[in-house]
Amino acid sequence: MPSRVVSVLTWTSILASTAQAYFLGHSFGLGGKYESRESQTNGALSEISPDTSRLPGWTTGGDGFVPNILSDRVVLTPPYPGKKRGAIWTEEAVPTSEWTVDFEFRANGDVERGAGSLQLWYVQDKTQVDSSSIYNVGQWDGFSLVFDVHGGKSGSVRGFLNDGVIPYYTHPSVDSLAFGHCEYPYRNLGRPSQIQIKHSQAGLEVHIDGQWCFASPKIQLPAGYTFGVTAASADVPDSFEVFKFVTSVPDPAQRQEGQQQKQTQQSWRPYENQQRPNNQPRDNAGQQAQQQAPIVVDTSAIDNRVAGLQTTLTQTKDKLSNDIVALRGLIANQKDDLARTLPSASQFATVEQRLQKIERMVEALVRESDKRQQELQPQIERLMHTVKEGHRGVVEGLQHTSNMVLSSAPKLGIFVLMIVIVQLALFGVYTFYKMRRASAPKKYL
């Protein structure tokens, strides 16, 4: 009975402690530095940058492109041109080995040929990675979650580990180093993809859009490492945009209480597992258990914690109910608007009939055109043959005529001689006229 009480109290404490977590200062898209999750339950997403010139708690860099910081997202690679790299790294390290990362990103690009990769890093030294991808990074120590179109698929998610010994850029098969993977078509979804990574003493878990992707209970990452996100685009680029990066760690006080409760539970195990002598009856064992001193457990703090948790859950439930009612009203209004604006089914049927009639007319015209072309093809060929023959006859006739003209024309020497003879005859006639004029009697008045 006491062990059962301790077990119930332990799980109650764990349930209460999970409702309180703290966000680290580099988180953007939700909350600020070391704010509890309860204070953010009814809050809205805030702007990630006050002036879009810097990202508080982060450093930016890239190769050929500097990440563009907008009011609601960070653009790591542009839609055009390709072969660009962008990176953002947290300025502070994670103080504990237990953490949860809520990450949202979107990838847009060419439907058929777009390519690129996005990596989420948790590494000891961010300078070893900078803006590299998983294929051209050198020696690094930590964990990497990679999103790409590996193997010609529509999208895949893979996890990689390294202890700082293996240089990935010289490895003959980097793909074989992945310890976990799942298929996920993340490109051109029209919405951000929601990624959650949990690391605790139970290992590492990766969830995508609320669905399990892969997990490993053998992975234990140390504290003090740094988070970062890098993206690289290909010749036909994909544009990667980060909307949210929230790192939450357990409340230190709650972690200490959880460890104390765990130690208390473990302290009961020797009592539970006491072995009875073989010659001792079962009734004597029951009497010895009843003779043990009673244990008094103060449950007031736990009751207060559970009451606070119930209040928070009630408020959350009420808020969700109100949001659902408002959403239903909005959907109803949108449905009415669509019903008024969209044409009726009869109008759709009329348009469909007209389209079918036009298609039939076009098909008839195409068939008639093909038929006429086949009928006119012989006539066109005969006409082309006649034109060619006529052209050949004209050319040959002109050549023959020009030869005849050239052969029958008088020679140039004869023509010149005739001109000289005519000139001499005229000169002789003129001379004879002058002589007769001079020998004629003169008349005087």
281-324 tens-digit pLDDT: 444 444 444 444 444 445 666 776 777 787 788 888 888 988 89
Residue 310, pLDDT score: 79
Q: Has residue 45 got a pLDDT over 70? A: no
Q: Is the pLDDT of residue 130 over 90?
A: yes
Predicted confidence band of residue 8 (pLDDT cuts 50, 70, 90): very low
| Res 281: pLDDT | 42
Q: Which span out of 195-209, 243-257, 422-436 was modeled with the highest average pLDDT?
A: 195-209
What is the structure's pLDDT at 404? Answer: 80
Contacts of 340 (CB under 8 A, 6+ apart): none
Q: Which of 69-73, 117-121, 136-140, 205-209 shows the lowest per-residue confidence on average (mean pLDDT)?
A: 69-73
User: What pLDDT score does 214 carry?
Assistant: 97
| pLDDT greater at residue 348 or residue 170 | 170
The arithmetic mean of pLDDT across residues 114-129, rounded, is: 94
Mean confidence (pLDDT) of the chain: 80
The more confident residue out of 439 and 84 is: 84
Given this model, what pLDDT does residue 397 score? 84
130 or 291: which carries more pLDDT confidence?
Answer: 130
Query: What structural domains does the chain harbor?
Result: 21-250 (2.60.120.200)
Q: How confident is the model at residue 277 (pLDDT cuts 50, 70, 90)?
A: very low
pLDDT band at 406, cuts 50/70/90? confident
Residue, of 25 and 235, whose pLDDT is higher: 235
pLDDT of residue 266: 39
The three-point CA angle 273-5-284 to 5° equals 45
pLDDT of residue 251: 74
pLDDT at 420: 92
Q: By CB neighbour count within 10 A (0-12 exposed, 13-18 middle, 19+ buried), where does 321 fall?
A: exposed
Tell me what pLDDT residue 392 has.
87
Higher pLDDT, 443 or 254: 443
Q: Which residues of 18-41 are buried (b: 16+ CB within 10 A; e: fewer)?
A: ebbbbbbbbbbbbbeeebebbebe
Question: Tell me, what's the pLDDT at 347?
Answer: 76
Q: Is the pLDDT of residue 16 over 60?
A: no
Mean pLDDT of 103-109: 95
Greater pLDDT, 198 or 382: 198
Q: What is the pLDDT of residue 24?
A: 65
Model pLDDT, residue 276: 38
Query: What's the pLDDT at 298?
Result: 54
Average pLDDT over residues 159-169: 96
Average pLDDT over residues 394-417: 79
Better pLDDT: 283 or 356: 356
% of the chain residues with pLDDT over 90 = 47
Q: In terms of pLDDT, which residue wins out, 73 or 263?
A: 73
